[in-house]
């Protein structure tokens, strides 16, 4: 009789354990049920157009749920400041922290500190170099690859180009240029990069840098930028110097301004990164955490090449 009771107890224990862990999957936390459910959102910078697009859409959709409260922090492109902001979220005992990191390596200790405090971390837009996080974003190498494939097809023989890099230290800056090099320069050795520089994803910096290059080089066939804002800066410089004709300009993000410029013929290509989709998926992950559901380690949204052929699909 005792033996049977022990067996029965063991079977019930196993059943309950399995039922209790069935939702865990890749996310190993526990269901979060506080009301309000507090989210700490550490933004890379409120000055960055794309990051702010994601943030604003997250605000819009999170307002639909009266049980969710979001606390925001502006990292101002400063990883040390952003790390302190994450630490503040930890001290405030929020239920989940979203990090759109200014530095994919520099924010790893902060993310690990959150995990050790029992707070799950969503790495949004920028995948962190370490720590236990849930990544919601896109594979930045693919955006550079799509740029490279387009330029390899469209640039003339022996083309000369400029490349405007994103902020040094950000992993997507590295991945975007690597994707471009592999898809374009490795296949078209006749193409020469005349100049390359870090314009920090900022329009005015890219404009100033491009003006300097245009003064040095009498001929350029293409300008590749690691985001739309830098592409706009390059176009501004081309307009100021009267050298827009025949220059292929490409960017990344496919913002509405980029799509309008592609439609008008002033810009050749942009690669759409789905900021709205990233915000929506991050919000879905937050809701899944509330309910204690299974969550994958990564949610990947693909990039899409936007040119004159399909730009109407991305305009209102």
pLDDT score for 167 = 87
- Report whether pLDDT(118) > 50: yes
pLDDT digits (tens, 9 = 90+) for 95-113: 999 999 998 899 999 999 9
Cα angle 189, 168, 112 (rounded to 5 degrees) comes to 125
- Report whether pLDDT(31) > 90: no
74, containing H or E segment:
strand 68-74
DSSP 136: E
What is the pLDDT averaged over residues 148-175?
93
The count of residues in the chain is 316
pLDDT score for 1 = 39
pLDDT score for 23 = 29
Give the phi and the psi of residue 282 in degrees, each rounded to 5: -60, -40
DSSP letters along 261-306, please? Answer: HHHHTS--EEEE--HHHHHHHHHHHHHHHHHT--B-SEEE---EEE
- Report whether pLDDT(6) > 70: no
pLDDT digits (tens, 9 = 90+) for 235-247: 999 999 999 999 9
pLDDT score for 291 = 87
CATH class, range 140-272: alpha beta
Say whether 140-272 and 18-136+276-300 share the same fold: yes
Six-digit token pair at 129? 């170099």
Which among 85, 86, 78, 172 has a CA at the least distance from the CA of 129? 172
- Report whether pLDDT(289) > 80: yes
- Report whether pLDDT(178) > 80: yes
- Please tell me which residue, 6 or 66, carries the higher pLDDT value: 66
Q: Break the chain into its structural domains and give their ranges.
A: 18-136+276-300, 140-272
CATH class, range 18-136+276-300: alpha beta
Distance CA 314, CA 117 (A): 42
Q: State the pTM of this model.
A: 0.78
């Amino acid at each position: 009789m005792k033996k049977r009771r022990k067996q029965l107890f063991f079977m019930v224990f196993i059943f309950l354990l399995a039922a209790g862990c069935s939702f865990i999957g890749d996310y190993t936390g526990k269901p979060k049920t506080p009301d309000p459910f507090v989210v700490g959102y550490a933004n890379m910078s409120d000055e960055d157009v794309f990051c702010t697009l994601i943030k604003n859409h997250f605000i819009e959709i999170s307002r639909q749920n009266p049980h969710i409260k979001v606390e925001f922090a502006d990292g101002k492109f400063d990883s040390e400041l952003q790390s302190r902001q994450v630490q503040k979220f930890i001290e405030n005992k929020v239920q989940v922290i979203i990090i759109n990191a200014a530095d994919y390596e520099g924010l790893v200790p902060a993310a690990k500190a959150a995990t050790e405090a029992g707070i799950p971390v969503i790495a949004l837009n920028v995948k962190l170099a370490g720590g236990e996080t849930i990544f919601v974003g896109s594979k930045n190498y693919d955006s550079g690859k799509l740029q490279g494939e387009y330029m390899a097809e469209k640039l003339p023989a022996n083309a000369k180009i400029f490349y405007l890099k994103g902020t040094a230290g950000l992993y997507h800056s590295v991945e975007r240029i690597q994707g471009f090099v592999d898809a374009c320069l490795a296949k078209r050795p006749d193409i020469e990069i005349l100049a390359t520089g870090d314009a920090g994803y900022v329009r005015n910096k890219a404009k100033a840098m491009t003006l300097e290059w245009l003064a040095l080089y009498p001929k350029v066939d293409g300008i590749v930028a690691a985001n739309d804002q830098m592409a706009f800066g390059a176009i501004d410089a081309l307009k100021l110097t009267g050298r827009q004709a025949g220059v292929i300009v490409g960017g990344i993000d496919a913002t509405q301004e980029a799509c309008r410029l592609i439609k008008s013929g002033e810009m050749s290509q942009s690669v759409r990164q789905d900021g709205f989709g990233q915000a929506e998926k991050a919000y879905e992950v937050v809701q899944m955490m509330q309910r204690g559901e299974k969550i994958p380690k990564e949610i990947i949204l693909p990039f899409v090449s936007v040119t004159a052929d399909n730009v109407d699909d991305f305009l209102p």
